[in-house]
DNA sequence: ATGAAAGCGCTAACAC
DNA sequence: GTGTTAGCGCTTTCAT
């Protein structure tokens, strides 16, 4: 790396120009009150004249941790994690931290590497959204390195770290109630095997809600391991056999697969079949009909995660706890009464 | 949280354990060959024993710049910028740099602030995707701070920095050709006023291609400033008046608005009306029909941006240049022959 | 209220 | 080859 062209002014330059010591400049920059007012003015003038800016890394050199929070997410292409990262950044900055984001790109190996990088960067804490679950190697690595961390999204609850995830229970209850109320007695759930940590719970929670309501309602489940052709084929094959009263797609892409299969068959939604989605990407409000969906509380998860992390950073060493933030239901055109 | 937070070992600890000087440890860590082999072994053993990791920030303390590249993007919710950031990260890491991402959240003010933060972090260079255009205040700030930078996406071409953006010309040519070939003589373009820098060019490029082919083809344009209701209302009103042969939606959401309006009217796509989209979010492959679309070369843009940036960082100070990476056409079910 | 001095963890110049 | 010495830009005692 070649040396830089423009001279960057340091605290010493400011001190010289202002005719004070670097220590005094430092105090002024940090707002320490015990500096004589005329000195404050001279320093401020010099700062302006030299266009001086504190180097936060160098400033943190002496402390053990830097004022940085790290975030590791499986990917950044989806609206879910994109929003999550945006919120984490927002809350971290509100607390005076910078957020450093890294994408593990679906690789647990890379996830471990990134945990190491966060350590190297001396972050104060890490928010990790694991690729698979909180039983993965990256969590172990974070613990081994002695990093402060909070785990989000695809997590169960963990004795190493606090965890935060969404809770579909209430929303599923509301859906079950509404679907039943409008006479739907045959419901298809579409799930994806990939998300080991979250899918089973979404399914179980809905089934529980529905069977508590009416044990005779038929609830079928289609679950494939991959999103692409096998999923569409499975759904299509199911529809060839039978037409359910309602479809509840447990991840966003499945919603569109279902909707398009309705169309192909000329089934009208919601009149001849109702549809409920999961997650709330922008496009769910521009389809026809618009999609009723279970919305994950991304903001609440991010806020809670940062809040917990800051507590731990501040020294809280109470027992770890799993937190669950309630999903909400967005009622739109794809179900009756929506 | 583990009770025994391991003390972080420094280069001095390793040196002491290995019975050598810190300088020797440093050489071993950086792979400098002029170290006696038995010393290399002892250092490596000590590194392993102490679980030592180099602190890259401290290591960069002495150099003017750190091995970091900054990225500033308008938002992270969309698949476009999510993918962009992922690619930038990939190419930056390939070159031995870390990527630090920040979202300006649609605010030019915040964008300026983030430019300052990149300076503070002593990044080697910045990839900026401006909220509005390369005429904005953030670009000026980057220049004022003497930062090395490359501008991407919503840019025209700039004498301060290299710019990289997508070029829809070829793809538009192909679309025009194909639509014309299948007898479409009345085409509706749907655009959004928000993206000041890119929309006019998409429109102009398609109009040029089409009129070169056949001056008599009718090309209408609907453009609103906001994405929500006004857009849908405008499209709906247009369709109430007349049914075009084809619709070309110049941003992804408009595609779904158009498709849903077709449905509402019972227009069959592509038989009674063809549809072409812009950008290639995952959902375009699970609609029915699947959507033919002009795909922005995100990978090429990211690769080019990082490549240019690295050149500039290495000291290239030739005249700045605007680069354009060609969009491609994804042919799918929503147009004839797709 | 202020400044001299001693680091933080590391690298680089220069002796040995 | 290796260790010694000086920093990088800043903060933080601790005298004054």
Query: Between A and B, how many CB-CB pairs are < 8 A?
Result: 145
Q: Report how far residue B89's alpha carbon sits from residue B202's, in angstroms, rounded to the nearest whole number.
A: 28
What local confidence, expressed as pLDDT, does residue B5 receive? Answer: 44
What local confidence, expressed as pLDDT, does residue A194 receive? Answer: 74
Residues A123, A124, A129: CA angle, nearest 5 degrees: 75
Contact between chains at A82 and B86 (C-beta distance less than 8 A): no
Query: What is the distance in angstroms between the Cα of B40 and the nearest Cα belonging to chain A?
Result: 22
Contact by Cβ (8 Å): B206, B189:
yes
| Residue B116 contacts A, CB cutoff 8 Å | yes
Percent of residues, chain A, with pLDDT higher than 90: 89
Question: Residue A7: which pLDDT band, with cuts at 50, 70 and 90?
Answer: confident
What local confidence, expressed as pLDDT, does residue A227 receive? Answer: 76
Using one digit for the tens of pLDDT, what is the confidence trace for A27-78?
Answer: 999 999 999 999 999 999 999 999 999 999 999 998 889 999 999 999 999 9
Q: What would the 3-class secondary structure string for A242-290 be? A: CCCCEEEECCHHHHHHHHHHHHHHCCCCCCCCEEEEECCCHHHHCCCCC
Asked if the Cβ of residue A39 lies within 7 A of any atom of strand C, the reply is yes
Hey, which residues 186-215 in chain A have their CB within 8 Å of chain B?
A: none
> Partners of A323 in the beta sheet?
A164
What local confidence, expressed as pLDDT, does residue A105 receive? Answer: 97
Which residues of chain A neighbour B93 with C-beta distances below 8 Å?
Answer: none
What local confidence, expressed as pLDDT, does residue B3 receive? Answer: 28
Which residues of chain B neighbour A143 with C-beta distances below 8 Å?
Answer: 2
How far lies B191's CA from each of B180, B224, B257, B258, in Å?
Answer: 21, 7, 12, 12
Contact between chains at B64 and A3 (C-beta distance less than 8 A): yes
Query: What is the distance in angstroms between the Cα of A50 and the nearest Cα belonging to chain B?
Result: 12
What local confidence, expressed as pLDDT, does residue B6 receive? Answer: 55
Which residues of chain B neighbour A257 with C-beta distances below 8 Å?
Answer: 286
| Residue A6 contacts B, CB cutoff 8 Å | yes
The count of C-alpha atoms lying within 13 angstroms of the C-alpha of B182, restricted to the half-sphere facing its C-beta, is 19
Partner-chain residue, chosen from B53, B259, B288, that has the shortest CB–CB distance to A264:
B288
Q: Which residues, at least 6 apart from A302, have a Cβ–Cβ distance to it below 8 Å?
A: A84, A87, A88, A90, A91, A152
DSSP conformation letters of B286-331: TSSSPPEEEEP-HHHHHHHHHHHHHHHHTT--SPP-EEEEE-EEE-
pLDDT tens-digit profile, chain B (338 residues): 222 345 799 999 999 999 999 999 999 999 999 999 999 999 999 999 999 999 999 999 988 889 999 999 999 999 999 999 999 999 999 999 999 999 999 999 999 999 999 999 999 999 999 999 999 999 999 999 999 999 999 998 888 999 999 999 999 999 999 999 999 999 999 999 876 678 999 999 999 999 999 999 999 999 998 777 789 999 999 999 999 999 999 999 999 999 999 999 999 999 999 999 999 999 999 998 999 999 999 999 999 999 999 999 999 999 999 999 999 999 999 999 77
Whose C1' is closest to the CA of A27: which nucleotide?
Answer: D11
What local confidence, expressed as pLDDT, does residue A6 receive? Answer: 59
> Which residue in chain B is spatially nearest to A232 when comparing CA positions?
B286
Partner-chain residue, chosen from A75, A105, A253, that has the shortest CB–CB distance to B286:
A253
Q: Report how far residue B240's alpha carbon sits from residue B134's, in angstroms, rounded to the nearest whole number.
A: 39
* pTM > 0.85: yes or no: yes
Å between B121 CA and C3 C1'? 28
Q: Report how far residue B215's alpha carbon sits from residue A204's, in angstroms, rounded to the nearest whole number.
A: 61
Q: Identify whether B289 is preceded by a cis peptide bond (ω within 30 of 0).
A: yes
Which residues of chain B neighbour A61 with C-beta distances below 8 Å?
Answer: 57-58, 61
Q: Report how far residue B116's alpha carbon sits from residue B112's, in angstroms, rounded to the nearest whole number.
A: 6
Contact between chains at A3 and B105 (C-beta distance less than 8 A): no
């Amino acid at each position: 790396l070649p040396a830089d062209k423009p001279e960057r002014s340091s605290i010493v330059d400011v001190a010289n120009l202002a005719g004070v010591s670097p220590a005094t400049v430092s105090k002024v920059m940090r707002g320490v009150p015990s500096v004589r007012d005329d000195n404050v003015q001279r320093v401020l003038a010099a700062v302006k004249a030299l266009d001086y800016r504190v180097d936060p890394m160098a400033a943190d050199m002496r402390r053990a941790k830097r004022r940085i929070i790290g975030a590791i997410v499986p990917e950044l292409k989806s609206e879910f994690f994109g929003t999550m990262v945006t919120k984490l950044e927002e809350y971290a900055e509100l607390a005076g931290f910078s957020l450093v984001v890294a994408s593990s790109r679906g690789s647990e190996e890379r996830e471990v590497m990134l945990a190491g990088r966060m350590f190297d960067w001396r972050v104060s804490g890490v928010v990790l959204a694991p690729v698979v679950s909180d039983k993965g190697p990256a969590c172990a690595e974070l613990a081994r390195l002695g990093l402060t961390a909070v785990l989000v999204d695809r997590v169960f609850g963990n004795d190493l770290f606090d965890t935060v995830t969404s809770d579909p229970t209430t929303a599923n209850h509301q859906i079950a109630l509404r679907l039943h109320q409008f006479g739907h007695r045959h419901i298809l759930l579409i799930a994806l095997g990939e998300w080991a940590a979250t899918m089973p719970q979404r399914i179980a929670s809905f089934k529980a809600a529905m069977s508590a309501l009416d044990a005779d309602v038929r609830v079928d489940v289609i679950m494939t391991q991959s999103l692409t052709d096998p999923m569409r084929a499975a759904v299509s094959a199911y529809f060839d056999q039978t037409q359910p009263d309602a479809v509840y797609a447990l991840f966003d892409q499945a919603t569109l697969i279902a909707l398009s299969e309705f169309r192909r068959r000329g089934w009208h939604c919601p009149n001849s079949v109702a549809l409920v989605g999961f997650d709330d990407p922008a496009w769910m409000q521009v389809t026809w009909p618009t999609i009723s969906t279970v919305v994950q509380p991304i903001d609440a998860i991010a806020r809670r995660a940062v809040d917990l992390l800051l507590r731990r950073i501040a020294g809280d060493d109470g027992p770890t706890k799993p937190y669950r933030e309630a999903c909400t239901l967005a009622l739109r055109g794809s179900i009756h009464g929506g």
